[in-house]
Amino acid sequence: MAVLSILAGVLLVLVPGAAQAPKQPLEEIVQHFAQKEKEYAAAHALYQYRLRIRIQEIDKEGSVLGEFEQVSEVGFDRSGRRVARLVANPRTDLLHLGIQRLELEDLSRVSLFVIRPEQIPDYTITYLTRERLDEVDTYLFRLQPKRPAHGRESFFEGIVWVDARQLDIVRVHGRSLPARGVGPLGKYFQRLEIFREPVDDYLFPTYVRADDVIIAAGGQTVRARLIIRFTNHERVRDPSSPSPEP
C-alpha cells in the first residue's frame, strides 16, 4: 500500500491499482463523512419509526422456506428511553428456528452509524476505488480499527460507500466490534449490509440485510437471512432533550 498521508495520527492509504484518488484531499473527505455520521446519529435519536424484522429460512437456490416477521413502533417512554411496542403478535412459519420474539437489545450489533470525528485516529482508513451505486457516484473506503474496543466502545470494520458529491455515507458492509451475542440471534448475522435513504434533511438507515448459516436445535444447519426495514420516520423530540438510551 502507498501511504498518502498521516495527519494527527490518522493513517490514510491508497491500495495499489485503485482508481485515481479524488482531487479533494482524502483527509477532508474522511473528516466530512465522519462529521455527517455524528450529525445524523444525533438527529436519528429524535425520531420514532416503524421497525419491521424478518428472519427467513432459505434453500440453496435462495427460495424462502419459512419466515418470522415482527413489526414494532419504536419511540420513547416518559424518561426518554428508546422502546419498541409490537403492532401485532409476531408471525412465524419457520421450520427449524424457534424464534418467537426479538427485542431492541437483540439488534445491538447493527451499526446504524459507523464513525465519529473523534474516532478517526483509532482507524486505518483505506481509499479503494470509485463505484457507481444506482445513480450515485461513490468513493469506497475500508475502515479498520487499530486497536480493540474498551468498555462500552464500539468500532466498525468494513467498507463504506461515500457519495462523491455530498460526501455522505450511503451504503455500509461490515460488522461491529466487539462482536455481540445477544438474544435468540446469538452470534449470528454479525456482518451486515446497510442502505440509507433521505429522511427530511438527513440520510438514515432504512434497509439492513445479512445472510448466515445457523446451527438449529439438534445440530441441524439452516441457511438464514435477516432483513430489517425502517419506515414511517417522524421527529418527536427536541434537540435539547437528553439522548435516549440504546
pLDDT one-digit tens code per residue, 100-153? 888 878 777 688 999 999 999 999 999 999 999 988 999 999 999 999 988 888
Q: Is residue 14 part of a domain?
A: no
Does residue 16 have a pLDDT over 60? no
Whole-angstrom distance, CA of residue 51 vs CA of residue 26: 35
pLDDT value, residue 105: 80
Domain residue limits at 76: 27-234
Average pLDDT on 205-213 reads 95
How many domains would you assign to the chain? Answer: 1
Question: Is residue 120 within 8 Å of 112, Cβ to Cβ?
Answer: no
Q: Is residue 12 part of a domain?
A: no
Does residue 93 have a pLDDT over 90? yes
* Helices and strands, counts by H and E, the chain: 1, 13
Q: Is residue 215 part of a domain?
A: yes
CA–CA distances in Å: residue 51 to residues 72, 103, 123, 187, 211: 5, 11, 31, 21, 19
Q: Is residue 73 part of a domain?
A: yes
Q: Is residue 149 part of a domain?
A: yes
What's the pTM value of the predicted model, to 2 decimals?
0.87
pLDDT value, residue 82: 92
Q: Is residue 15 part of a domain?
A: no
How remote is the C-alpha of 122 from its chain's centroid?
19
